[in-house]
């Protein structure tokens, strides 16, 4: 039977003038694990990431760097692309919101929303945080009247803007949430959004009069489209034939944009809604919030150079239940690395390989009989279906521990008779190869090395997968 299933997963598009840090890598690794898993199952998979470039912050940063804005954004977009390449990310596409393909779809959707009667001109008066690219209410400010996140004084803006009738979508959104209890995950985020919508939605300003950088509003080119309104559309503009997305992976700080404004825009423009929005948690570094002033942002590429990208992936998804906040510390990374990878998987693989090498047993490797099918009902599959990465990893490591116990019991190093030794080693090798299929989405480089080593007639030991740190 031909597999006709599809899976379309997105990361947020990242602010182009940010530097890729561990939080970005976290969301992108999560999408990567899922994309690899669904590809392996044979589903038509599309994994999209990209950069958000139409922000006023981009202009300010380019001016500060005394660079032409086009050259500036090109060089920054390449930095993001390089980062993902270095981290082995398997994205199928990379959308930049300065691309023509994006602008075209933004214009189209803007026009459709206008045609549906959901735009009107009004006066906007209020506080605007450039760091957020968002309006703030007075009650959002800290005791010094600064943006609590950016510690900057918001601008006071008075201008004529086009407003989107978000209020009109309160009821349709609530209906959608009721009918689709999985629409926003985890459940506490779902409840948070429902409560917010029930509290009443206000229309939002979706154009800017004074900004020059961005996509001009098709109905009034003296205005540019609000950067968030434009950015969200990337999920369609990259390839409209792929819509709807099955999953948007986002940070919980941008939940309202994705779970309230975005679906309302789609309802207005007559598009299907995404199947699921999953908000992951925040990181602290050694118990402290990541902040520019503390300079404690963690560079995932540096960690990858020291430990390997797979080790970072293992750490992030084993340590932090997806959706929760988590803490990163080098010490904990080393502990988890040594316990699960150096002493765990690495040791097991080295042990079995050495036994095989010493025994001179030859293996008839029939790949098809050894390959473990990624079943729909196995615990592993159920975990990944729920984005329970931790549970799926636990399932893999449970199998490794089981094999460890088996070897302890059989003691193949004490068996001298080749006829008795062979089935024991064959079982061990087949277990490693089967489990390797489950390992692939999580630790792709490691899985490839294991496959190379064990899918041979004569298995030999090789350099350690994870040298002790």
DSSP H helices in 151-245: 170-179, 187-198, 227-232, 234-237
- Region near Zn ion per CB under 5 A, out of 100-108, 131-139, 279-287, 379-387: 131-139
- Which CB sits closer to Zn ion, 250 or 392? 250
Nearest Cα neighbor of 322 from 416, 252, 260 is: 252
In eight-state DSSP terms, residue 213 is S
Nearer to Zn ion, 128 or 307 (CB): 128
- Rounded alpha-carbon distances, angstroms, from residue 445 to 1, 311, 388, 419, 456: 31, 10, 21, 34, 18
What is the smallest separation between the CB atom of 277 and Zn ion, expressed in angstroms? 22
Tokens 């080593």 belong to 453
CB closer to Zn ion out of 18 and 404: 18
Q: What are phi and psi of 14, to 5 degrees?
A: -90, 145
As a residue count, the chain comes to: 469
Residues touching Zn ion, count (CB under 5 A):
6
Cβ 136 vs Cβ 129: under 8 Å: yes
How many beta carbons lie within 10 A of that of residue 260, not counting itself?
21
> Measured from the CB atom, is 297 or 301 closer to Zn ion?
297
CB neighbourhood size of 381 (10 A): 18
Q: Which of 19, 146 has the CB closer to Zn ion?
A: 146
Nearest approach in angstroms of CB 291 to Zn ion is 13
Q: Which window, 142-150, 200-208, 276-284, 435-443, contacts Zn ion (CB under 5 A)?
A: 142-150
Is 27 a binding residue for Zn ion by CB under 5 A? The answer is no
When binding is defined by CB under 5 A, the residue of 42, 122, 131, 423 that contacts Zn ion is 131
As measured in angstroms, the least distance from the Cβ of 293 to Zn ion is 14
Q: What is the closest distance, in whole angstroms, from the C-beta atom of residue 237 to Zn ion in the complex?
A: 26
CA distances from 287 to 281, 326, 376 (A): 14, 9, 38
What is the closest distance, in whole angstroms, from the C-beta atom of residue 227 to Zn ion in the complex?
A: 14
Compute the least distance from the CB of residue 149 to Zn ion, in Å: 5
**Between 291 and 460, CB nearer to Zn ion:** 291
Residue 154 or 308: which CB sits closer to Zn ion? 154
Q: Which of 150, 256, 379, 422 binds Zn ion (CB under 5 A)?
A: 150
The reply to whether 147 sits near Zn ion by the rule CB under 5 A is yes
Tell me if 352 sits within 8 A of 428, measured CB to CB. yes
Cβ neighbors of 325 (< 8 A, separation 6 or more) are 281, 282, 283, 284
Rounded Cα distance between 451 and 446, Å, is 9
Under rule CB under 5 A, residue 227 binds Zn ion: no
Using CB under 5 A as the criterion, what x/- string covers residues 316-355 for binding Zn ion? ----------------------------------------
Q: Are strands 6-10 and 247-251 parallel, antiparallel or unpaired?
A: parallel
From residue 100 to residue 129, the character string flagging contacts with Zn ion as x (rule: CB under 5 A) and all else as - is: -----------------------------x
Q: Which of these ranges, 49-57, 139-147, 307-315, 436-444, lies near Zn ion under the rule CB under 5 A?
A: 139-147
Q: Which stretch binds Zn ion (CB under 5 A): 150-158, 409-417, 427-435, 461-469?
A: 150-158
What is the greatest pairwise CA distance in the chain? Answer: 88
Among 79, 132, 399, 469, binds Zn ion (CB under 5 A): 132
Residue closer to Zn ion by CB (options 150, 379) is 150
What SS3 state is found at 257?
helix
CB of residue 154 vs Zn ion: minimum separation in angstroms?
Answer: 7
Place of tokens 């118990």: 287
106: which residues sit within 8 A by CB, 6+ positions away? 215, 225, 230, 233, 237
Euclidean distance between CA atoms 297 and 207, whole angstroms: 33
E strands, 226-330, are: 247-251, 277-280, 283-285, 288-289, 326-328
Give whichever of 129 and 267 is closer to Zn ion, judged by the CB atom.
129
Q: Which residues make up the interface to Zn ion (CB under 5 A)?
A: 129, 131-132, 147, 149-150
């Amino acid at each position: 039977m031909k597999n006709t299933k599809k899976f379309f997963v997105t990361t947020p598009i990242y602010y182009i003038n940010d530097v890729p840090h561990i939080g970005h890598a976290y969301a992108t690794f999560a999408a990567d694990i899922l994309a690899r898993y669904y590809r392996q199952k044979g589903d038509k998979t599309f994994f999209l990431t990209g950069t958000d470039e139409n922000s006023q912050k981009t202009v300010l940063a380019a001016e500060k760097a005394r660079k032409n804005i086009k050259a500036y954004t090109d060089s920054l977009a390449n930095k993001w692309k390089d980062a993902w390449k270095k981290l082995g990310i398997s994205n199928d596409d990379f959308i930049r919101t300065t691309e023509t393909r994006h602008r075209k779809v933004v214009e189209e959707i803007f026009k459709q929303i206008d045609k549906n009667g959901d735009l009107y001109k009004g006066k906007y008066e209020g506080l605007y945080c450039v760091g957020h690219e968002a309006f703030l209410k007075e009650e959002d400010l800290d005791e010094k009247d600064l943006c609590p996140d950016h510690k900057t004084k918001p601008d006071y803006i008075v201008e004529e803007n086009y407003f989107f009738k978000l209020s009109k979508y309160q009821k349709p959104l609530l209906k959608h949430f009721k009918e689709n209890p999985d629409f926003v995950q985890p459940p506490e985020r779902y409840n948070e959004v429902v409560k917010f919508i029930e509290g009443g939605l206000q229309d939002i300003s979706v154009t800017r009069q004074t900004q020059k950088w961005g996509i001009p509003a098709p109905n009034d080119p003296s205005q540019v489209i609000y950067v968030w309104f434009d950015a969200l559309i990337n999920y369609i503009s990259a390839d409209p034939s792929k819509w709807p997305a099955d999953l948007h992976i986002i940070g919980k700080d941008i939940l309202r944009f994705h779970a309230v404004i975005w679906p309302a825009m789609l309802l207005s423009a007559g598009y299907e809604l995404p199947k699921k929005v999953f908000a992951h948690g925040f990181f602290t570094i050694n118990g402290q919030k990541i902040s520019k002033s503390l300079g404690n942002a963690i560079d995932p590429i540096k960690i990858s150079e020291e430990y390997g990208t797979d080790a970072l992936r293992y750490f992030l998804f084993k340590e932090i239940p997806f959706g929760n906040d988590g803490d990163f510390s080098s010490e904990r990374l080393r502990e988890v690395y040594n316990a699960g990878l150096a002493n765990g998987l690495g040791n097991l693989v080295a042990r079995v390989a050495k036994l095989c090498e010493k025994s001179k047993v030859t293996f008839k490797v029939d790949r098809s009989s050894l390959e473990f099918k990624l079943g729909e009902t196995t615990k592993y599959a159920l975990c990944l279906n729920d984005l329970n990465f931790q549970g799926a990893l636990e399932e893999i490591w449970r199998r490794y521990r089981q094999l460890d116990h088996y070897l302890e019991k059989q003691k193949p190093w004490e068996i001298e008779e080749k006829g008795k030794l062979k089935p024991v080693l064959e079982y061990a090798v087949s277990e490693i190869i089967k489990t390797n299929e489950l390992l692939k989405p999580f630790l792709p480089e490691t899985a490839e090395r294991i496959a190379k080593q064990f899918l041979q007639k004569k298995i030999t030991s090789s350099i350690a997968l994870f040298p002790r740190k």
